[in-house]
Amino acid sequence: MFAFSSLPSVHPMVLSLAFALALLLSLALKLWLASRQVRHVMRHRDRVPAPFSTVVPLSAHQKAADYTVARSRFGLLTMAFNAAVLLGWTLLGGLDALNAFMHELLAPRFGAMTYQLGLLSAFALIGALLDLPFELYSTFRIEQRFGFNRMTWRLYAADALKGLLVGALIGLPIAALILWLMGAAGSTWWLWAWAAWMGFNLLILVLYPTVIAPLFNKFEPLAEDQYGGLRERVEGLMARCGFAAKGLFVMDGSRRSAHGNAYFTGIGAAKRVVFFDTLLARLSGAEVEAVLAHELGHFKHKHVTKRVLTMFALSLAGFALLGWLSRQTGFYLAFSVQPNMAAPNDALALLLFMLVLPVFGFFFTPLSAYLSRRHEFQADAYACAQASGADLAAALLKLHEDNAGTLTPDPLYARFYYSHPPAGERLAAIQAL
């Protein structure tokens, strides 16, 4: 149980006002950027950009424009709804009401830990139910309309059920551990909780390829004679790059979507290379090799390690901030939450922090996107040195067309959000190499 200061160092009114202003500013910025994106894409809808005019059909360019606009407009609706829900949970007292209900329901009969886990679970379940109509519309209307969705209702329900069970089996134990540390480890609980959280994330990186992912998809080893001897080509590339993987696998991504992809998963000796079957059906062996060389570039430049270390540092700062805020009555009162006087406030603090922090963190999106784009350029350069730049460019164009990625994004929108460089910039850089 927290020992609150009689003179809180966090003034509720100041924090409430800062939150409201940040939320309004972020909404206005999102609306302005999305409007720019829609106008820019539609303005260039009827003409393929000159660098792509000989390789991208007008029909594909128009499909990408329509897909981008449809998702952008739907994103505006989702954004407005999520903002209303956030206000409901915080300033309008929704979280306070849920906390009072769960405390009265569970605390007297089952104790403080059960009450807190129940609060976290109820919050997550309500959030999932509120998001469900938007997920269904996105999958079965927008993705279906543009020919990407291959998900059946039965498969969607099975995925949802398995996701719920996996989330409970994984999430509840780590939540219980962090809640216990918050109550038992004293004023430095946040340091122990951070260590536990980092250990948990590393464990998930190890378990995901072999335990979690196979619950949702089938992974078949890439055979020697499949896809024109692709395995030999890929193994030769990895040998040149000094990269060792535990296996090469083909995933049945076509069961759910027509989008194609390839990725590495796992850490250390557990690393795997995974190709979507949709990707292999579309690209030639040389193009797949170039795409894989790009991914190897991320490892060569230690991008994955840098991102993990950045995640460690940011999460440490986040836990330290939470450790301070959780003991300030003003933190709770600022968001219309009455802290418990006779029960732990650990779960309340976690939920409030998860609700409020993204509003302020949104303004760092351009920095994160910029650093990610730099990494992509470096990985492309490495791919051009280890494979064919022409094949990489051809593969990127095919993937852009297959995934209906627009060739004409608004420049400011791309600078703010895009984690990958726009196609024009990326291909120009590849050609320069």
Q: Is 278 left (phi over 0), alpha (psi -120 to 50) or beta?
A: alpha
Rounded CA gap, 205 and 196, in Å? 14
**Active centre residues (catalytic):** 295, 380
Rounded CA gap, 351 and 96, in Å? 11
Q: Which of 330, 311, 231 is nearest to 273 (CA)?
A: 231
Which residue reads 């109820």 in tokens? Answer: 122
Q: Count other Cβ atoms within 10 Å, centred on residue 251.
A: 23
* CA atoms within a 13 Å half-sphere pointing along the CA-CB vector of 218: 7
Burial of 285 (0-12, 13-18, 19+ CB in 10 A): middle
